[in-house]
Structure 1
Amino acid sequence: MYKKILIVAAHPDDEVLGCFGTVAKFIQDGYEAYTLILGEGKTSRDEIRVIANRQNEIAILNSEIHKANSIIGIKKVFIESFPDNRFDSVDLLDIVKAISKVKEEIKPDIIFTHYKDDLNIDHKITYTAVITATRPMQSESVKEIYSFEILSSTEWNYPLLFSPDMFFSIDDTINLKLQAMKEYKSELCEYPHPRSLEGIALSAQYYGMSVGKKYVERFKVVRIIS
């Protein structure tokens, strides 16, 4: 059955880290997929939020976003500019409206988004905004919602509460995930940082062993309506 997927991510590269192996599989199976990036990225690295000082870097990052998403065949990327690591300074309603606008345009069946108890405040708020924007009304298109983990955010929280109950094998798409991450040259870290290419592959391999696969991505099921 033909379905549409929407990835709702707080920051550039979260979409790759969270679910690109899985979404790549769905695209290969004929699904249509879209990405919404809510945060601008970069500006939290300044002592104060001075966007003008970061315009060139933001332009480079936006280019990386499109290149990374094209690797797996994302049909369209939507980019908002909420302040990086400062989503709590914005009215929740504004973030909900941004998600709702995209959701109403594409009418997705499935949403992949952040886990509610991540260390990062933007991830937490993104989750809440997604749940708010997808209330299970009779006319709601979204029937499945999955929370993904983000390396160096989900596992760095304490106590660790992420308890996955859905595992997708990405044996055939791990290389696409890594190729997409390579496009985020401004975001990649050196091993042993979790957000290194080696760290991403090792994590997928380690989690795969727990369910008898070579590589997996893990998710917490939020909602499935059949």
Structure 2
Amino acid sequence: MTETVLAIGAHPDDEVLGPGGTLAKHADAGDDVHALIVTEGTTTQYDDDSFVEQKQVAARACANRLGLEDVRFGDLTDMKLDVTAHVEVNAVIEETVEAVEPDIIYTHSPHEVNNDHVAVYESTLVAARPGSGVGRIYAYETPSSTEWVGGDRRQFSPDRYVDISEYVDTKVDAFHEYDMEVREFPHPRSEQAIRARATSRGVEAGFEAGEAFSLVIAREEEI
């Protein structure tokens, strides 16, 4: 049975750095896979509005490499979701959930140092509340954000692993569409680090390469 899948990211590249291999696997299995990027991902960080269009072009190319049906853009202001009215963030995600009617959603973990990611997680729960038709929600980790939570704060703790052994190259190639976001090793957003994380998560579950998730909501039995 095929399913409809929606990946939600705060910024352009979150959708591939987090669940990219899993999305490619869903698409390869015949599932209908979509992505939503909630912010424009540039204006707070870069003093060049042309980067907004550049990142949208990159996001579409990335989606194409992953086999996604489409990618949507919320265009909210980058790095300011924590001071954006909650209802505005909700509305962006609700609109896509109503249009796509996903069975499964992949969204950010709440155990993050990036406040945009946390805001997206919280609004995902609102948009996917009972009656939305969403059966399952999984939270993913985001390199250079999730693993930097320290002190006594709760850490990302996965309880589901997906074997992406056949999709690591696809994930890396798709990420390289965001050429302005690729960093040098040992930065977590370097190719070597992405491959190393996939190997590490795979080893935890007995795979050659894996992606890790935490189950947020399950309203139906997972088959």
Please give the range of the TM-score, normalised by the shorter of the 2 chains: over 0.9
Secondary structure of 1:45's aligned partner:
coil
2:147 equivalent to 1:151? no
Secondary structure of 2:138's aligned partner:
strand
In structure 1, runs of 5+ residues without a counterpart are 47-52
Alignment partner, residue 33 of structure 1 = 33
Alignment partner, residue 177 of structure 1 = 171
Moved more, 193-202 or 77-86: 77-86
Alignment check: 8 A CA contact 2:43 2:49 kept: no
Q: What are the superposed Cα offsets for residues 65-104 of structure 1, whole Å, 9 maximum, x if unpaired?
A: 1101100111111112111111012101011111111111
Of residues 188, 193, 198, the one that matches 2:182 is 188
Moved over 4 A (4+): none
User: What is the percent sequence identity of the aligned residues?
Assistant: 33
Counterparts of 1:6-85 in structure 2, within 5 Å, are 6-45=6-45, 53-85=47-79
Alignment partner, residue 191 of structure 2 = 197
Q: CA deviation at 1:158?
A: 1.2
- Normalising by structure 2, we get a TM-score of 0.95
Count matched residues: 218
Alignment partner, residue 50 of structure 1 = none
Alignment partner, residue 142 of structure 1 = 134
Q: CA deviation at 1:44?
A: 2.1
Q: For the aligned residues, what is the CA RMSD?
A: 1.1
Of residues 94, 101, 123, the one that matches 1:129 is 123
Alignment check: 8 A CA contact 2:9 2:37 kept: yes
- Normalising by structure 1, we get a TM-score of 0.94
Q: What are the superposed Cα offsets for residues 176-224 of structure 1, whole Å, 9 maximum, x if unpaired?
A: 1011001100111111100011110011101211221110000000011
- Give 2:91's aligned amino acid: K
CA distance, structure 2, for counterparts of residue 36 and residue 27 of structure 1: 16
Alignment partner, residue 2 of structure 1 = 2
Alignment partner, residue 115 of structure 1 = 109
Q: What are the superposed Cα offsets for residues 136-175 of structure 1, whole Å, 9 maximum, x if unpaired?
A: 23xx210010000000100001145111000001001111
Secondary structure of 1:221's aligned partner:
strand
Alignment check: 8 A CA contact 2:136 2:217 kept: yes
CA distance, structure 1, for counterparts of residue 45 and residue 98 of structure 2: 33
Secondary structure of 1:79's aligned partner:
strand
- Give 1:150's aligned amino acid: T
2:219 equivalent to 1:225? yes
Secondary structure of 1:223's aligned partner:
strand
2:65 equivalent to 1:88? no
CA distance, structure 1, for counterparts of residue 77 and residue 83 of structure 2: 8
CA distance, structure 2, for counterparts of residue 74 and residue 191 of structure 1: 28
Alignment partner, residue 49 of structure 1 = none
CA distance, structure 2, for counterparts of residue 114 and residue 188 of structure 1: 20
Alignment check: 8 A CA contact 2:136 2:219 kept: yes
- Give 1:211's aligned amino acid: A
